[in-house]
Amino acid sequence: GVMEKLGLGPKVLLQENPRLIYARLTGFGQTGKYASSAGHDINYLALSGVLSKLGRKDENPYAPVNLLADFAGGGVMCALGIVTALYERTTSGKGQIIDASMVEGVAYLSSFLWKSQNLGLWNRPRGENLLDSGAPFYETYKTSDGKFMAVGAIEPQFYEQLIKGLGLDSNKLPNQLSFSDWPTMKKKFASIFAQKTQAEWCSIFDGTDACVTPVLSFDDVASHQHNKQRSSFIKNDQEEISPRPAPLLSRTPAVPSFKRDPFIGEHTEEILLEYGFTKQEITKLYSDKVIEFSKPKANL
């Protein structure tokens, strides 16, 4: 209702421009019991059902930072909605309102979990399934130098290469999908991974299809050979590292800026003046807390 209070709600604006696409991105959506309630990523994740699937055995469910509901279920799904509405407008000539709920966005994002329930992937308690840290071949393991390796050797041919790299004989081990043996196998794999450094394990598994890769820190990610070869990370003029825009388009790739990130509100006044607002109007918007500034020297 904030935009309505400013006289900028979709009903007003769509009357002025029927081609307008108006995206409303909220946690709980525009209607429903929680529509006007405060919340954060963890709350939206909880209401979507997805949080109940995240976490290890015998531990509380945990939210993976705020990536899933905020950015994936919210931002990315909303952006996809905008693109879809833009495409639809090419045939209808009409705009529309997008009700992007983070709860519904992350629930829809997790359709795989819903649709694969009868495949045997999720029929065990949390933390005991194939992809939720239950399987010894889909897990992270600590190395002798305190770093980690990520293992995702699901397919039999990949699992065989994992076993080979670990110096084990598959003929002397339980069947890969023997659930009852998974806890013992995890302990065995953990004890072996703990005997070498991350770099040593990389020298063993790099170039194989064992699906074993290093868990890179933010400090190491830009210098990894694969990421360097693709220029996956960029450095700005303040020597700050960040991911290059993705996905990479062949004909019109994004051209990233190498300047520092702007402060929130740094260019607010400049842009409003450029669009014809007067100093007085800008001052009023600022005093009404509609806009904010963040400059070393305020111009007001």
Q: DSSP states of 127-144 as a string?
A: TSSTTTT-STTEEEEE-T
Per-residue confidence (pLDDT) for residue 117, from 0 to 100: 84
Structure tokens at 182: 């998974």
Q: How many angstroms separate the CA atoms of 32 and 38, rounded?
A: 13
The CB-side HSE value for 255 (13 A sphere, CA atoms) comes to 2
Cα dihedral angle (34, 39, 44, 49), rounded to 10 degrees?
A: -70
Residue 126 backbone phi and psi in degrees, to 5 = -55, 135
Q: What is the pLDDT of residue 118?
A: 84
Determine the pLDDT at residue 1: 77
3-class secondary-structure state, position 72: helix
Q: What gap in Å lies between CA 66 and CA 45, rounded to an integer?
A: 9
Neighbours of 101 (CB within 10 A): 28
Q: Any idea which residues carry the catalytic annotation? A: 40, 70
- On whether the CB atoms of residues 93 and 17 are closer than 8 A, the answer is no
Question: What is the CB neighbour count within 10 angstroms for residue 76?
Answer: 13
Angle between helices 41-48 and 102-109 (to 10 degrees): 60
* Predicted confidence (pLDDT) per residue in 66-115, tens digit: 999 999 999 999 999 999 999 999 999 999 999 999 999 999 999 999 99
Extract the tokens encoding 118: 């009868």
Phi/psi zone of residue 163: left (φ > 0), alpha (ψ -120 to 50 degrees), beta? alpha
pLDDT at 250: 96
Distances in Å between the alpha carbon of 244 and those of 71, 214, 222, 264?
Answer: 17, 20, 11, 21
Q: Could you tell me the sign of the dihedral formed by the alpha carbons of 47, 50, 56, 62, in that order?
A: negative
Residue 176 CA to residue 156 CA, distance in Å, equals 8
Give the tens place of pLDDT for each residue, 155-192: 999 999 999 999 999 999 999 999 999 999 999 999 99
Backbone angles phi, psi at 139, to 5 degrees: -165, 165
For the chain, residues with pLDDT lower than 50 are: 298-299
Asked, as a colleague might, if the bond just before 125 is cis with ω within 30 of 0, I would say: no
- With contact defined as beta carbons under 8 Å apart, do 248 and 272 qualify? no
Output the CA torsion sign for 211, 214, 215, 217.
negative
